[in-house]
Amino acid sequence: MKLFDRLFRDAPLATRGEITPKLGFLLTVLLAIVWLIPFLWMVVATLRPASDGINAMAELMPSLKPTLDNVRDAWEIGDFPRYTLNTTIICAGILLVQFVTITLAGFAFARLDFLGKTPIFYLFLMQLMLVPVLLIVPNLSLVAQLGLYDTLTGVMMPFFASAFGTFLMRQAFEAIPTELEDAALIDGASLLQRIRHIYVPLSMPSFSAFAIISVTSHWNDFLWPLMVINSPDKRPLTVGLSVFTKTAEGTQAWGTIAAGTLMVIAPLLVTFLIFQKRFISSFVTSGIK
Amino acid sequence: MSLAEPASLAVATSAAPRLDVLRRFTTRFKASLPAYLLLLPSLVFLALFTYGAMGRVLVDALYQRATPKAPVRFVGLDNISAVLADPAFTGAVVNNLVYAAGTTIPSIALALLFALALSRTNAVSSALRAALFLPVLIPMVAASALFMFIFLPNVGLLDFYIGRLLPVLPNWLGDPDVALYAIMVITIWKNAGYYMLFFLAGLQAVPEDVMEAAHLDGAGPYMRLRHIILPELKPTFLFVIVIATLNAVTQVDHVFVMTQGGPSNSTNLVLFYIYQQAVEHYDVGKASAATLLTLAALMGLTALSFRTMANREGGP
């Protein structure tokens, strides 16, 4: 009970004696352990030597003779360095173009008064509702017509404009005092110079929040690259992993599958564990992604 | 309205109002040009991949080819009626409804539980939050790879541990009556932590002193939840329900990886049906008709989220 007393130390005095919140907390602890089991299995199975046999595969107790054989096998069977490179190119390409488009559009909405502002604002808002995933069929034929079928550019293109990012930047820019811009205006700074030297440097937290959301969602994208990409050497991690899993499943090489999965998710998990707070607050704003 | 414009203009030139309106329009248009230039890059891509795509779906749904190589011809609403008459499509719709209800309700209930239990900030609860949030970060494909082993008959994780307690277990992904529920488990596992974040944010708005006052008036934990916390969380609920439902239609990568819609179409969901029509059967007409129907069905829902979002964004 000592532990509970410490956990509920800052609860209102009157409610500290109640039992229900504590039961809820216990249940949550149990569920959190259940939630972690797939990850635990992944790590344990990655390190398990093949000599333990298929029947011990599900054992959650780590093997006494850990080995990196599975990692080596996965590395050799799947073309993971190539997949990682492709995914990195896709995420970086999308993000760079998005930074330009959302900065410009966000500034227009935040600081400029123009004809048709309201209807154009709603045009942007509509992108949030139209759920891009559902438009895979028409977008695939457009990408094919543009000659971008089976190219990484084709995978990136539909995401170059982002209504979510535009709104995020609009909010960030609106919070910047106009006096700063006026001072630059007197010094003769052009519109783009003012954006570049005043608005962008002061909005770095919003840019990083957007970057986190954009990169995680495109790192994890599967269906769209699956449709656009045909050549094996252009596959991103997700598509590569699904092909790899299919192959390894046939031979019941579950240790290798676990190792491959670990390699795919490790970069994001490590980044998350380092920048936990940032990630969480970014994801809260991402509800409207 | 720019400051440079004299306020008395309308009165002074009332003799030729039409000309004046035109002139004011052109002045304002000229003044708006920089804004249009800034919006242009975004609008080009939105036009191509969002509005253009919408228009294309509408048009493609009206045309059909007799064979994959034949020229397209106008068929009106034939594609739509063909899709509606296709048992695979109606089956996918029913599956998707079951899937939506079976993932949305449990994951939101769990998210609320997690948020209530972990709303205080201390080292233990932030570690638990991180644990519950981990599945949100990983690709659905990676989650599928892990759960493929968890659900594996006989030697899989589930059978290995539960099999000791229960002698007869179903083939989780191979039994048409069970497979849909098995993939629901993955979705709940993956999304509950995400929705938890919104409830955690919503709980910040519940005033602590009101809670304490309610307790002094004799309200137990349940009464406080029912009469103070839940009413305060109403906007959060609306918002999370919309997202969860959209996810139930769009976030179905595990069907592609694990079951391919099988066994016997029991896990065939709408998006997978669309994909099959377009990529496997080269039937763009039917795929577009199914897309159109799905978009229309989501219209009411998105109108709701549209209002919520417009409120959040504070209007133009």
What's B63's DSSP letter?
A: E
Q: How many CA atoms lie within 13 A of B56 on its CB side?
A: 20
CB contact (8 A) between residue B42 and residue A101: yes
Residues A174-218: pLDDT tens digits?
999 988 888 888 888 888 999 999 999 999 999 999 999 999 999
Give the mean pLDDT of B223-235: 88
Residues in B 255-274 with any Cβ partner in A closer than 8 A: 256-257, 271, 274
Lowest mean pLDDT among A52-66, A103-117, A152-166: A52-66
Of residues A126 and B87, the one with the higher pLDDT is: B87
Nearest to A158 among B44, B49, B220 (CB): B49
Chain A nearest C-alpha distance from B46 (Å): 6
Q: Is residue B313 over pLDDT 70?
A: no
- Compute the residue count for chain B: 316
Distance separating alpha carbons of residues B43 and B252, to the nearest angstrom: 29
Predicted TM-score (pTM) above 0.95? no
Q: How far apart are CA B140 and CA B253, in angstroms?
A: 6
Q: What is d(CA B106, CA B100) in angstroms, rounded to the nearest whole number?
A: 10
| C-alpha atoms less than 13 angstroms from C-alpha of B283 in its C-beta half-sphere | 17
Q: Residue B114 above 50 pLDDT?
A: yes
Whether the pLDDT of residue B296 is over 90: the answer is no
- Whether A268 sits inside 8 A of B138 (CB atoms) is yes
Q: B121, B193, B191, B107: which is closest to A32 by C-alpha?
A: B193
Contacts 24+ apart (CB under 8 A), A146-151: A148/A228, A149/A228, A149/A230, A150/A228, A150/A229, A150/A230, A150/A231, A150/A234, A151/A228, A151/A234
Query: What DSSP state is assigned to residue A198?
Result: I
From chain B, the residues in CB contact with A118 under 8 A are 316
B129 touches B196 (CB < 8 A): yes
Asked if residues B173 and B258 have their Cβ atoms less than 8 Å apart, the reply is: yes
B44 close to A (CB below 8 A): yes
Using the beta-carbon criterion (under 8 Å), do A28 and B250 form an inter-chain contact?
no
> Any idea which of A120-124, B58-62, B65-69, B211-215 has the lowest mean pLDDT?
B65-69
User: What is the average pLDDT value for chain B, to the nearest integer?
Assistant: 85
Residue B309 host element (H or E): helix B284-313
Question: pLDDT (tens digit, 9 = 90+) per residue, A22-46?
Answer: 899 999 999 999 999 999 999 999 9
Tell me what pLDDT residue B73 has.
79
Which DSSP state fits A15? G
Average of pLDDT values for B279-286? 87
Residue A125's contacts (CB-CB under 8 Å, 6 or more residues apart) are A163, B306, B309, B310, B313
pLDDT of residue B1: 40
Q: What is the largest CA-CA distance in chain A?
A: 76
Mean pLDDT of B45-73: 84
Predicted pLDDT of residue B315 = 42
As to burial, measured by CB atoms within 10 angstroms (0-12 exposed, 13-18 middle, 19+ buried), residue B137 is buried
For residue B19, the Cα-to-chain-centroid distance in whole angstroms is 49
Q: How confident is the model at residue B314 (pLDDT cuts 50, 70, 90)?
A: very low
pLDDT top residue among A7 and B213: B213
Mean pLDDT value of segment B82-108: 94
Residue B140: its chain A contacts at CB < 8 A?
A: 220, 222
Measure A101 CA to nearest chain B CA, in Å.
5
Task: Specify the pLDDT at position B151.
Answer: 92
Q: In this complex, do A142 and B128 lie within 8 Å of one another by their Cβ atoms? A: no
- Return contacts of B275-280, CB within 8 angstroms, 24+ apart: B275/A136, B275/A223, B275/A227, B278/A136, B278/A137, B278/A140, B279/A227
Mean pLDDT (whole number) for B204-215? 83
Given a cut of 70, whether residue B206 has pLDDT beyond it is yes
Distance from CA of A247 to the nearest CA of B (A): 12
pLDDT at position A97: 97
Flag whether residue A133 sits within 8 Å of chain B, measured between CB atoms.
yes
CA gap B156, B175 in Å, rounded: 15
Q: Among A10, A245, A287, whose Cβ lies nearest the Cβ of B148?
A: A245
Cβ of residue B156 closer than 8 Å to a chain A Cβ = yes
Residues of B in contact with A13 (CB under 8 A): 212
Whether residue A55 has pLDDT greater than 80: no
Top pLDDT among B311 and B89 is at B89
Mean pLDDT of B161-181: 85
pLDDT value of position B10? 47
Decide if pLDDT at A7 tops 90.
Answer: no
Q: What local confidence, expressed as pLDDT, does residue B4 receive?
A: 46
pLDDT at residue B144, rounded to an integer: 94
ipTM of the complex: 0.88
Buried b (16+ CB within 10 A) or exposed e, A212-230: bbbbbbbbbbbbbbbbbbe
pLDDT (average), residues B43-64: 90
CA B110 to the chain's CA centroid: 18
Q: Which of A186, A113, A120, A190 lies closest to B2 in space, CA to CA?
A: A113
The whole-angstrom separation of Cα B279 and Cα B130 is: 38
Q: Is residue B181 within 8 Å of B102, Cβ to Cβ?
A: yes
- The confidence score (pLDDT) of residue B7 equals 46
**Cβ proximity of A91 and A218 under 8 Å:** yes
Contacts (Cβ under 8 Å, ≥6 apart) of B282: B68
Orientation angle between helical segments A117-129 and A163-174, nearest 10 degrees: 130
Quick check: A18 and B221 CB within 8 A? yes
Q: Which residues pair with B73 in a beta bridge?
A: B64
Confidence of residue B3 (pLDDT cuts 50, 70, 90): very low
Of B149, B239, B316, the CB nearest to A257: B149
Answer yes or no: are the C-beta atoms of A127 and A186 closer than 8 Å.
no
Average pLDDT over residues A127-147: 86
pLDDT, residue B214, reads 85
Q: Which of B44, B45, B215 has the CB atom closest to A14's CB atom?
A: B215
Percentage of chain A lying above the pLDDT 70 cut: 93
B131–A36: do the CB atoms touch at under 8 Å? yes
Between these two residues, B64 and B11, which has the higher pLDDT value? B64
Alpha helices for B47-86 (secondary structure H): 52-60, 78-85
Q: Comparing C-alpha atoms, which of B179, B108, B195, B109 is closest to residue B144?
A: B179
- Which range among A16-20, A271-275, B35-39, B110-114 shows the weakest confidence by mean pLDDT? A16-20
pLDDT score, position B166: 78
How close A154 comes to chain B (CA, Å)? 11
Is the pLDDT score of B11 beyond 60?
no
pLDDT classification of B187: cutoffs 50, 70, 90: very high
pLDDT beyond 70 at B311: no
What percent of chain B shows pLDDT beyond 90?
39
Chain B nearest CA to A209, separation (Å):
15
- What mean pLDDT value characterizes chain A? 88
Q: Give me B301's structure tokens.
A: 């829902």
Quick one: what percent of chain B has pLDDT higher than 70? 89
By the 10 Å C-beta count (0-12 exposed, 13-18 middle, 19+ buried), A281 is classed as middle
pLDDT of A86 over the 70 cut: yes
By the CB < 8 Å criterion, does B307 face chain A?
A: no
Query: How far is Cα A251 from Cα A47, in angstroms, rounded to an integer?
Result: 18
Distance between B192 CA and the closest CA of chain A, angstroms: 10
- pLDDT tens profile A223-262: 999 999 999 999 999 999 999 988 888 788 888 999 999 9
Please report the DSSP string for B87-132 in residue order. Answer: HHHHHHHHHHHHHHHHHHHHHHHHHHHHHHHT-S-SHHHHHHHHHH
- Note whether A114 contacts B31, CB cutoff 8 Å: yes
